[in-house]
A and B are shown apart, each in its own frame.
Chain A
Amino acid sequence: MTDDDLKTLLDDSDNNAPSEAARARAKAAAMAAFAAAGENDQIKSPDTQGNVTTLRPTADNNPSVRRRMMNAINQRWVVSGVASAAVLVMTVSVLMNVSDPVVDTDLAPGREMTLGAASGLEEVIVTARRKQEAKEFSRDQSAGALRQEEYPAAQMAESDLAMADSVAPASPPTERQTFAAVASNESRAPGKVLSAPVPADVVLPGYYQDEGRDQFETIVPNPVKLVAEVPVSTFSVDVDTASYSFVRRQLNQGVLPQKDAVRVEEMINYFDYDYPLPESRETPFKATVAVTDAPWKAGNKLVHIGIRGFDIAPGEAPASNLVFLLDVSGSMNSPDKLPLVKQSMGLLLTQLKPTDTVAIVAYAGAAGTVLEPTQAREKQKILVALERLNAGGSTAGGEGIKLAYQLAKAGFNKSAVNRVILATDGDFNVGITDQEELKGFVERQREEGIYLSVLGFGQGNYQDDLMQVLAQNGNGVAAYIDTLSEAQKVLVDEATSTLFPIARDVKIQMEFNPQTVKEYRLLGYETRALKREDFNNDKVDAGDIGAGHRVTAIYEITPVGSASGLIEPSRYSQAEAPAAGQGSEYGFLKIRYKLPNESTSKLITTPVAVKDSALVENKVLERETGFAIAVAGFAQLLRGGQYTGDWSYQDVIDLANKNKGDDLYGYRAEFVQLVRKASVAHDMK
């Protein structure tokens, strides 16, 4: 619903002209009150401007208002909690005329909901009865004696009858559902919490925390494809790691993440694999292909593609012109958001050269420059500016982005890396909030040489889908920072990959050989799929690889002759016998990329041999491949294990433990712990 719809809806209400009778009644009542007020004039306090609470026709100053009685009736409703609870309580208190507030408050909201749904018939009856009473009292109460005259007994009975009629049949399931929804929402609304029983041992957080509103793009896992029908698979690389840290956070809290939060490729790419380095600087990265057996399905093979970019030596890093764009809106006001953002930015500062420039833009209800472009050598000045930030207000993210780009442009350095680093929970709600529009804006800026990286913070209302769109179109990395150690990993240990791109628009195309491969399936990369023809089209944007980045892609294939395939041969159309002669290859791998300052792409090709000996010769590669496969298997299990058969979390742990390697930073050990947690969370379900 748009603002206009809402406005129209409310404006339509203006067609309701007041009725003359009601107007006359109101005027008469007002005139009487006016006269009465004139008499009491002297006792009035002078400071009641706009506040007439003391002057209401209460039982104290107007005996015709039967407020006490009203209150007596209301008391029972007060204790009864949320809407449907009220229905139940009324079943007890109205029909049986028993009111016991202690019993009422003991009902848990969840239980009330189910009971409420079960007692449909009673609900109708009670609804009608209670309605009747409520109306009577409200009439007595609000209109006093005047209204009473307007409603002779007969007319009243009639209208109540009509009311009961209209309620009883008019309770179709849809309306009831709508209502249940409203009621359940109501129980969550902050204002209502007071009336709900709060167990003594629940510690309420001191800050506002949304729950269950994290937004992810829906992912349909890549299906199994028949090589005879679709021999070519094309996708863009993805170096993001956001998914892994988000999943880790959820698992550390003992819950399985929602399926769409698990992007297989981001889980795999979180780890630093020790793939062979490129031989020379001419080619910015090297692709290593290995074929191994699929651990989760006998007969199937996995084609493992490992890409590693060259690393920039610390002294050779290009200059950086960075603009930190920090979200300081009210939603960032929690310990895992703004304070963590400040710490993270402080960490990043340590990785900059003294001559690099940093500017800070903060946005909440409005965007503002916190720090003009400042050289990193003035570290204290930058830290002080960061420290001053406080969270509060709404989120004019769109405006903030614009301002950040303006600053980046002001300090634009052709030979440097010009980058805006956005730190946010993604909840943009003022200004440009439309994803498409933001995307277009970021895209245009990318063309001009200013890139955007996104660091996500917080949970509960994390807008992952928007972050992905922004980072993908801004040639940047989307990372999710849940802890300070994750900030350390992304901004210090991997600062060069995060900051300096070595290849742009990297696309991968795999053509399978129908002679040797029957079916194939790409693990992950669902959000990065490209059309076959886009591979050679340099205008089509794709993912970027930063200095030292590792990218891994895994295909699961069913070789011809294996019985492990999923697709039955067609009864009617005979498959053409594939051309003979290339029986020694599973397929042909092509990678296209552009160097950072070039606009024409270059091509790398590698055949994938059936008799692959890479793993036998290279124990390190075997280990790295094994670990990547363990992560891939884990990610698939978290997504429901559609293709992994009986493979279990324990198998993941075994495979990962076997291939842990040196694990200098302990990420792989942490992974094994995570799998254990997932296993426990899964069993508890």
Chain B
Amino acid sequence: MMMSPDKQTLKRAMDGDGAAFGEVVDICYDSIFRFAMKYTGVRQDAEDVAQLACIKLAQAIRSYRFEAAFSTWLYTLVLNCAHDWYRQQNRHRSDDVEIEHLASPQDSEGESQIYLRQVLAQVEAMGDGFRDTLVLVAGEGMNHAEAAALLGVKESTVSWRLHEIRKKLASAQRQEGLQ
């Protein structure tokens, strides 16, 4: 779950108080990073995304309107950053950039991390929005309605995407079993 700063700090940061903004970053960075970690599956990429998100936060915080919960707003922002980052980084997702990720376990990471990356690559290949849906629901524990509101799609679309993901991963597993 995204951490939210208290309202006073937020207001002061929005008014241009640098120290208050620093506090906001301190509070939020952890959850931004963890989210990015789930989204990318690669530490270095997650750090890049998190940093990009912090920069965007700096530029956008003054336009936060208190209409949506801060955490929801922040999710949208981080997701947008992640999308932008991927677009710039490798236009062909899951090409050899990820071969490298798959092939060379980075230091001090577990097997589950490698596996996560494989899953993410497969899910990403299914089309736009699938990775977002998976990470928000399975990773951040949102229910379908919350994820749908955040992604700006219908709740049934979220359910459908998750179903497709399940099906796809199950069939991938079956194929692996056959080989």
Chain A interface (Cβ within 8 Å of chain B)?
Answer: 1, 3, 6-19, 22-23, 25-27, 29-38, 41, 44, 46, 48-53, 55-57, 67, 70, 74, 77-78, 80, 82-84, 86-87, 123, 126-127, 130-131, 134, 138, 141-143, 163, 166-167, 170-171, 174-175, 177-179, 181-183, 185-186, 189-192, 330, 364-365, 392-394, 429-430
Contact = CB atoms under 8 A, between A and B. Distances in A.
Interface string B142-179: 00000000000011100110110111011011010001
Given A9-B112, A12-B110, A77-B91, A34 B103 contact: no
Contacts of B30: 17-18
A142 B97 contact: no
A82 B92 contact: yes
B29 A27 contact: yes
A142 B119 contact: no
Contact of B73 (A50, A56, A163): A50
Interface of B: 16, 18, 21-22, 25-26, 29-30, 33-34, 37-38, 41, 43, 46-48, 50-52, 54-65, 67-68, 73, 76-77, 80, 84-85, 88-97, 99-100, 102-104, 109-110, 112-113, 115-116, 118-119, 121-122, 125-128, 134-135, 138-139, 141, 154-156, 159-160, 162-163, 165-167, 169-170, 172-173, 175, 179
Contact of A394 (B59, B115, B135, B163): B163
A38 B16 contact: yes
Contact of B134 (A6, A82, A365): A6
A11 B115 CA distance: 13
Contact of A143 (B29, B51, B76, B92): B51
13 contacts: A10-B38, A10-B116, A27-B29, A31-B25, A33-B55, A33-B56, A37-B59, A49-B65, A52-B80, A53-B80, A74-B88, A130-B96, A177-B179
Nearest to B139: A10
Given A167-B104, A185-B122, A365-B159, A30 B92 contact: no
A27 B92 contact: no
Contacts of B125: 182-183, 185-186, 189
A34 B138 contact: no
A3 B138 CA distance: 7
Contact of A183 (B21, B51, B64, B94): B94
A22 B51 CA distance: 8
Contact of A18 (B47, B61, B134): B47
Given A12-B113, A15-B110, A330-B156, 6 more contacts: A9-B119, A16-B34, A50-B64, A77-B90, A167-B96, A192-B127
A1 B173 contact: yes
A141 B25 CA distance: 22
A1 B166 contact: yes
A191 B95 contact: no
Contacts, number: 255
A369 to B, nearest CB: 19
A16 B135 CA distance: 16
Given A18-B33, A182-B122, A394-B159, A191 B48 contact: no
A50 B56 CA distance: 10
Contacts of A46: 63
A163 B105 CA distance: 11
Contact of A142 (B37, B51, B76, B80): B51
Given A171-B103, A179-B99, A41 B47 contact: no
Contacts of A392: 156
Contacts of B64: 49-50
A174 B50 CA distance: 33
A77 B119 CA distance: 24
B156 A9 contact: no
Contacts of B85: 142
A31 B68 CA distance: 24
Nearest to B102: A175
Given A12-B116, A52-B56, A429-B163, A78 B122 contact: no
A30 B57 contact: yes
Given A3-B138, A30-B55, A131-B96, A49 B21 contact: no
A18 B122 CA distance: 25
A656 B165 CA distance: 47
Nearest 7 CB-CB pairings of A with B:
A166-B104, A30-B54, A34-B58, A170-B103, A10-B139, A33-B58, A55-B59
B160 to A, nearest CB: 5
Contacts of B96: 83, 86-87, 123, 126-127, 130-131, 167
Given A127-B99, A186-B94, A18 B50 contact: yes
Contacts of B76: 50
B139 A142 contact: no
B100 A127 contact: yes
A375 B54 CA distance: 65
B116 A13 contact: yes
A1 B162 CA distance: 12
Contacts of B63: 44, 46, 48-49, 52
A70 B139 CA distance: 32
